[in-house]
Amino acid sequence: MSQTLQVDPGQPGAYPTIGEALGDAPDGATLLVAAGSYPESLDLRGKGATIAAAEGAEVVVSGSGGFEPTVRCRDTALTLRGLTLAGTDTTVVDADGASLTMEGCTVRAGAGAGVKVSGRTALRVTGCTVTGGTQGLVIEDSAGTVDDTAVRDSADDGVIVRLGADPVLRNVTVSGAGHRGVYVYQFGKPTLEGCEVTGSGSTGIAVSQGSAPVLRRCSVSGTAGVGIVFDADTSGEVDGCRTEGTAPPGLSIADGATVQVREAPASAAAGVGAVDQPTGDPERVEQLLAELDAMVGLAGVKDEVRAIIDEIQVNEWRRSAGLAVGGSSHHLVFAGAPGTGKTTVGRIYGSLLAALGVLPGGPLVEVSRRDLVGQYIGHTAEKTAAVFDRAGGGVVFLDEAYTLSRQAGGGGADFGQEAIDMIVKLMEDRRDGLAVIAAGYTSEMRDFLDANPGLASRFVKTVEFEDYDATELTLIITRMIAGGDYLLAADAEPLLLEHFTRVPRGADFGNAREARKLFEKLRKVQSQRLRGLGRQPSVEELQTLTGDDVRAAVAG
């Protein structure tokens, strides 16, 4: 069981810096970091760790200056979760011969690369954003996966894959690169699935020097150079990709290149019977539906989402057969109380749309009123448009959307209405490039939909999220317990069920959040009990949560 160390400069007994915690941490420890700015550079060699932001905390690690990376890892396993990592003069995250996992992180680079991996590093990046830098993401001589990630505004190339690297990039958006969006060279062999390249200063995707990428369902648009270029000594596969608004030709394959090209689906003008290969990924769709099914409860939600996906799938089959298909919207309303899985289902839904080939694929960007509403006329429209830009190809998740339709404070201008009006426009203008999910309490969402005459018509359906019952909440907390490497004593689980059966369910009941809070209380109660033993506990004692622990936690 891994040890957890607390980093919080304002809490007595906790570590004041991440570096000090790393110095004392055993191999494989988890560092839970409180909100704040940490101007330090982290160097991990031979000793692994997980560095994670505390729940709901904004943690910024900005480096200690000079030319050292903000995070460097060598010959070790490192997980970074929920952090903002910034640098100015060199690469922000640098991994060599390591195992690097990044989940939900934001990387802000100055000079150098945002993230660079080499030396056969095993890479896994999910739900991250990389902005700025000379290059955004550099993968050399390494493998792994990059999923649902955005690379923006690199001064030179957005993504570089070289020296035989063979990663899988899935639903990655690369926008605003000063030179090439994606550059594959020196025998790179990446697979790009559902990726989108926009606004590059030169070529969208460039392939050279013996490289052999596989490009599936990728889109390139608005580039100053050619959309996709294969040089003479290259090979690979282009399947269901499209280019728009690039320098001609959209796809350039030099003499001597060996590239297998499968065209995008035919338009309706091809006529009935002109059947073409659909661009979806059936295996990925089934994986995502299985992930949806594995969630606790939500039977009605699962049925609704499956019905939507079934209709989209049939429409894609009809389109690829040249049959007429009506215009469609992928925007949804998720109505229900907090903690009922709305954000998780939203992320799966966005990935399903990408796997079906109806959206390019991109991150889920979760925002609330404060992320959209500005302080002066015109500021709100600018902030709202920027959010939609960040979510290009993916999902804009409007949490507590109804707060936009409420007057803020007393009197004066309220720019929430301006945000709503801008959202309506962007939902229509970009309906083929992203999905919008508006979430909140059922009754309040009705007021939100009434705030603009065209708003309700933009959403294809309202999906109702019911509260979890006691049995479901018990299953949720037992999964949390098992996931945290704990065990329940035989008498403990019935007490959990009894607690969730009796707990008051007022308007502020948090559902799965209540389960998370109780789990944290259980850990604290157990820690206090074990500290009182006067000796070092056994492994079994460290893992076990007893019935007495549950009684104390629910009473506290």
- The CATH number linked to 144 is 2.160.20.10
One-letter identity of residue 426: L
Q: 120 phi and psi, to 5 degrees?
A: 60, 40
- Give the mean model confidence (pLDDT) for residues 435-457: 81
Residue 263, pLDDT above cutoff 70 = no
CATH assignment at residue 485: 1.10.8.60
Distance CA 332, CA 258 (A): 43
Q: Report whether 171 contacts 362 (CB < 8 A).
A: yes
Q: Is residue 163 part of a domain?
A: no
Domain total for the chain?
A: 4
The pLDDT assigned to 406 comes to 58
Given a contact cutoff of 8 angstroms between Cβ atoms, the answer to whether 171 and 146 are in contact is no
Asked if the structure places residue 165 within a domain, the reply is no
pLDDT of 311 over the 60 cut: yes
**pLDDT, tens digit (0-9, with 9 covering 90-100), for 167-213:** 999 999 999 999 999 999 999 999 999 999 999 999 999 999 999 99
**DSSP for residue 453:** T
Check residue 276 and give its pLDDT: 42
Please, what is the average pLDDT of the chain? 85
Q: Count of alpha carbons within 13 Å of 439, Cβ hemisphere only?
A: 25
Would you state the pLDDT for residue 52?
A: 96
Residue of 93 and 418 predicted with greater confidence: 93
pLDDT digits (tens, 9 = 90+) for 362-372: 777 888 888 88
The answer to whether residues 31 and 66 belong to one domain is yes
If you count them, how many residues does the chain have? 556
Smallest CA-to-CA distance from 33 within 43, 47, 44, 20 is with: 20
pLDDT (tens digit per residue) in 111-160 = 889 999 999 999 999 999 999 999 999 999 999 999 999 999 999 999 99
Instruction: Indicate whether 147 and 247 sit together in one domain.
Output: no
Q: Clarify whether residues 396 and 535 are in a common domain.
A: no
Q: How confident is the model at residue 507 (pLDDT cuts 50, 70, 90)?
A: low
User: Confidence band (pLDDT; 50, 70, 90) for 322?
Assistant: low
Picking from 323-332, 362-371, 418-427, which range would have the lowest pLDDT averaged per residue? 323-332
> What pLDDT, on a 0 to 100 scale, did the predictor assign at position 270?
30
For residues 10 and 128, membership in a common domain is answered with: yes
Q: Confirm whether 276 is domain-assigned.
A: no
> What mean pLDDT is predicted for residues 305-328?
73
Are 295 and 244 within one domain?
no
- pLDDT value at 163 more than 80: yes
Q: Evaluate whether residue 166 is within a structural domain.
A: no
* Spatial contact of 172 and 150, defined as CB atoms under 8 Å apart: yes
Q: Are residues 146 and 10 in the same domain?
A: yes
Confidence (pLDDT) at 147:
94
pLDDT at 120 (0 to 100): 95
Assign 308 to helix, strand or coil: helix
**Backbone torsions φ then ψ of 130, nearest 5 degrees:** -120, 120
- The answer on pLDDT for 377 being more than 80 is no
Q: In what order do the strands lie in the sheet with 332-336?
A: 364-367, 395-398, 435-440, 332-336, 461-465
Contact 100, 51 (CB under 8 A): no
| Domain end residue (candidates: 155, 189, 218) | 155
Looking at the fold, whether 318 and 455 belong to one and the same domain comes out as yes
Q: Give the pLDDT band (50/70/90) at residue 410.
A: very low
Identity of residue 135: Q
DSSP state of 404: G
Beta bridge partners of 226: 247
Which of 416, 442, 465 terminates a domain? The answer is 465
In a shared domain, residues 297 and 326 = yes
* Share above pLDDT 90 across residues of the chain, in percent, rounded to a whole number: 40
pLDDT exceeds 80 at position 16: yes
Q: In terms of domains, do 475 and 420 share one?
A: no
In a domain, 406, yes or no: yes
Residue 168 lies in a domain: no
| Residue 391 located in a structural domain | yes
The β-bridge partners of 207 are 184, 230
pTM over 0.85: no
Domain closes at, from 448, 465, 482? 465
Give CA–CA dist 90/278, Å, rounded.
Answer: 43
**Of the given ranges (163-172, 231-240, 385-394), which has the lowest mean pLDDT?**
385-394
Residue 264 has pLDDT above 50, yes or no: no
Q: Does a structural domain hold residue 169?
A: no
In terms of domains, do 454 and 475 share one? no
Distance of CA 156 to the CA centre of its chain: 24
Residue 518 belongs to domain spanning: 470-555
3-state secondary structure of 273: coil
Q: Are residues 257 and 292 in the same domain?
A: no
Q: Assess whether 21 and 146 both reside in one domain.
A: yes
